[in-house]
Amino acid sequence: MANKQIIKERRLQDDAWKVVTLVDGEAPFDVCLPVGPLLVPVSVWKARKACLIHREYEHGTPLGIWLAPGDDLAGIAADLDDFTVIAVHFPKFADGRGYSTARLLRERHGYDGELRAFGDIGRDQIFFLNRVGFDAFVIGEGKSAEDALAAFDDFPESYQGDAVQPLPLFRRRVA
Amino acid sequence: MYRYDDYDHAIVQARVAQFRGQTERYLAGKLNDDEFRPLRLQNGLYIQRHGPMLRLAVPYGLISAAQLRRFADVARRYDRGFGHFTTRHNLQLNWVKLAEVPQILADLARAELHAIQTSGNCIRNVTTDHFAGVAADEIADPRPWAEILRQWSSFHPEFAYLPRKFKVAISGATEDRAAIQVHDLGLQVVRDPNNSAEIGFKVYAGGGLGRTPLLGQVVREFLPWQHLLSYTEALVRVFNRHGRRDNAYKARIKILVKALGREEFAQQVEAEWAHLKDGPSTLTVTEVERVSQQFAAPAYETLAADDLCHLAHLREDKAFSRWIDRNVHAHKVPGYAAVTLSLKRPGAAPGDATSEQMEAAADLAERYSFGEIRVSHEQNLILADVPQRELYTVWHRAKATGLAAPTVGLIHDLIACPGGDFCSLANARSLPIAAAIQERFEDLDYQHDIGELELNISGCMNSCGHHHLGAIGILGVDKNGEEWYQVTLGGRQGNDARIGEVIGRSFAAAEVPDAIERLIGVYLVHRHADERFIDTFDRIGVETFRGAAYLPKPAHPHHSRRVANG
ipTM value, please give it.
Answer: 0.97
pLDDT digits (tens, 9 = 90+) for B190-208: 999 999 999 999 999 999 9
Q: Give B487-555 as a 3 state SS string.
A: EEECCECCCCCECCEECCCCEEHHHHHHHHHHHHHHHHHHCCCCCCHHHHHHHHCHHHHHHHHCCCCCC
Q: How far apart are CA B255 and CA B242, in angstroms?
A: 11
Identify which of B11, B121, B157 has the shortest CB distance to residue A157. Answer: B11
What confidence score (pLDDT) does residue B19 get? 98
pLDDT digits (tens, 9 = 90+) for B139-152: 999 999 999 999 99
Average pLDDT taken over every residue of chain B? 94
What are the residue ranges of helices labelled H in B111-245?
143-153, 228-242
Averaged pLDDT, B281-291: 97
Identify which of A100, A158, A173 has the shortest CB distance to residue B237. Answer: A100
Q: Which of residues 134-163 of B touch A (CB under 8 A)?
A: 151-152, 154-162
Chain A residue numbers touching B283 (CB-CB < 8 A): 170
Phi, psi (degrees; rounded to nearest 5) at A65:
-130, 150
- Inter-chain contact B18–A93, Cβ cutoff 8 Å? no
Q: Reading across the β-sheet that carries B62-64, which strands appear in turn?
A: B62-64, B372-375, B381-387, B336-341, B328-329
Looking at the complex, does the CB of residue B494 fall below 8 Å from at least one CB of chain A? Answer: no
In this predicted structure, the answer to whether residue B382 has a pLDDT above a threshold of 70 is yes
Angle between helices B228-242 and B262-276 (to 10 degrees): 120
Identify which of B31, B156, B280 has the shortest CB distance to residue A167. Answer: B280
Averaged pLDDT, A97-108: 98
Chain B residue numbers touching A171 (CB-CB < 8 A): 280, 284, 287
Ordered domains of chain A (ranges, CATH):
4-171 (3.20.20)
Residue A174, CA atoms < 13 Å, CB-side half-sphere:
1
Ordered domains of chain B (ranges, CATH):
6-110 (3.90.480.20), 127-292 (3.30.413.10), 308-408 (3.90.480.20), 412-564 (3.30.413.10)
- Inter-chain contact A100–B240, Cβ cutoff 8 Å? yes
Phi, psi (degrees; rounded to nearest 5) at B166:
-140, 115
What confidence score (pLDDT) does residue B79 get? 96
Q: Reading across the β-sheet that carries B82-85, which strands appear in turn?
A: B45-48, B51-57, B90-93, B82-85, B352-354
Identify which of A96, A147, A166 has the shortest CB distance to residue B280. Answer: A166
Q: How confident is the model at residue B559 (pLDDT cuts 50, 70, 90)?
A: very low
CB pairs under 8 A between A and B: 101
Q: How confident is the model at residue B348 (pLDDT cuts 50, 70, 90)?
A: confident
